[in-house]
Amino acid sequence: MNVHVLADLNDACKQFVRRQPDGRVCHLQAWAHAAASAAKLKSYYLVARDAGGIKGVLPLIHARSRLFGNFMVSQAFSDHGGILSDSPQARDALFDRAVEIATDKKCDSIEFRNVIPLPYDLHTRKGKMVMYLPLDSDPEKIWKAFNCKVRNQVRKAEKSGIVVSQGGTDQLTEFYSVYAKRMRQLGTPVFPSKLLKNLMDTLPENSRLFLARLNNQTIGGALTFCFNGYAEIPFASTLVEYNRLCPNNLLYWSIIKHYCLQDANFFDFGRCSVDGPTHRFKKQWGPEPVDLHYQYWTRPGYELSLLSPDNPKFRKKIELWKKLPLWATRIAGPIISRKLP
């Protein structure tokens, strides 16, 4: 089994990812290229081959900073990632090559963002999950399956005058304004707007932007991607001062309805902490919970410290970030967050 780093975009790799049941948009070489370019990081897109052709892929992003250390992640700016292969031999070869590269670059760790855990002796992060809602080509069937509370919240938003539109990069500035404000409220450095634009420009057929407006003011939005039957919502925000009008509910229903009509198989509500407020919001829609198995290779002698808002060492920094002026977080946030892929 031969494993090499792929430099140029390769359609055969895209077709391999599409054939795999667990293949997601983040496994595409195009995602890796767009993300690394926007964040000014190094991408290593590993491809395993034998005489029969491509047998597996592993997208890796290398990040290094004084604040967060020297590490690799698969895949950057995504809830999913990790090794995608059609045989144990390809899986093992990709893992071994990733460790070789990480060792050569003196990395402290590699984070594999798996749904199905790798069969190695690795540290596993627990307490995170994604939630999948099976879709139907007739959105009315999905609507009728929702409980009364969800339907009433959607109707409340509609009666309040909130409307949801959809488009492309022409609406990105409006979305980013809301997104940056909400990230500051959460104490999280906002991702660069260039990252979102690069992903949309690179994957125009897979991306869609949705905006929730009230009286011509944008109060919420979501950037979605759809590939291989999975519709995902990795970037979404609404302004908390409008929560009483339930804009989130109308926004999510509009997205779900859209992807029903696009014949997607599942709507992925995205990563959340078990029993947290985001989990409770998503749970009411009736999706199927799926545990995430984020696993970590670490160099010998290194004590893993997770880069997570849940880590106590970051709590004071998060509270301080919430108090900074919005303009300051919009300048500093993208500089910091690109090192937190």
Residue tagged 């409340």 (tokens): 156
CB 245 within 8 A of CB 229: no
Residue tagged 């599942």 (tokens): 266
Q: Could you give the 3-state DSSP secondary structure of residue 116?
A: coil
Residue range 2-126+292-307, CATH number: 3.40.630.30
Helix axes 172-186, 326-337, angle to 10 degrees: 90
In whole angstroms, give the CA distance from residue 280 to residue 274: 9
Question: Helix, strand, coil: what percent of the chain each, to 5?
Answer: 40, 30, 30
Domain ranges of the chain: 2-126+292-307, 129-291
Q: Could you give the 3-state DSSP secondary structure of residue 93?
A: helix
The C-alpha angle 333, 337, 341, rounded to 5 degrees, equals 165
- Other C-beta atoms closer than 10 Å to the C-beta of 241 total 8
- Please give the C-alpha separations between residue 55 and each of 1, 20, 116, 213, in angstroms, as whole numbers: 9, 10, 18, 46
Residue 321's pLDDT is what?
64
Residue tagged 């292969």 (tokens): 85
Residue 314's pLDDT is what?
62
Residue tagged 């359609």 (tokens): 11
Residue 338's pLDDT is what?
75
CB 41 within 8 A of CB 338: yes
Whole-model pTM above 0.75?
A: yes
CB 5 within 8 A of CB 98: no
DSSP state of 168: S
In whole angstroms, give the CA distance from residue 95 to residue 219: 43
CB 54 within 8 A of CB 232: no
Domain 129-291 in the same topology as domain 2-126+292-307: yes
Residues 6+ apart with CB under 8 A from 141: none
Residue tagged 């300051």 (tokens): 328
* Superfamily of domain covering 129-291: Gcn5-related N-acetyltransferase (GNAT) (3.40.630.30)
Beta strands at 84-85 and 53-65: parallel, antiparallel or unpaired: antiparallel
pLDDT tens digit at each of 341 positions of the chain: 899 998 877 889 999 999 999 999 999 999 999 999 999 999 999 999 998 899 999 999 999 988 788 999 999 999 999 999 999 999 999 999 999 999 999 999 999 999 999 999 999 998 899 999 999 999 999 999 999 999 999 999 999 999 999 999 999 999 999 999 988 888 888 899 999 999 999 999 999 999 999 999 999 999 999 999 999 999 999 999 999 999 999 999 999 999 999 999 999 999 998 888 889 999 999 999 999 999 999 999 888 877 665 656 666 767 776 767 777 777 776 777 777 78
**Residue 234 is which amino acid?**
P
Q: What are the backbone dihedrals phi and psi of residue 68, each rounded to the nearest 5 degrees, phi first?
A: -115, -5
In whole angstroms, give the CA distance from residue 153 to residue 146: 11
In whole angstroms, give the CA distance from residue 248 to residue 164: 10
**Residue 196 is which amino acid?**
L
Beta strands at 272-273 and 128-134: parallel, antiparallel or unpaired: antiparallel
CB environment 188-225: b (16+ within 10 A), e (fewer): bbbbbbbbbbbbbebbeebbbbbbbbbeeebbbbbbbb
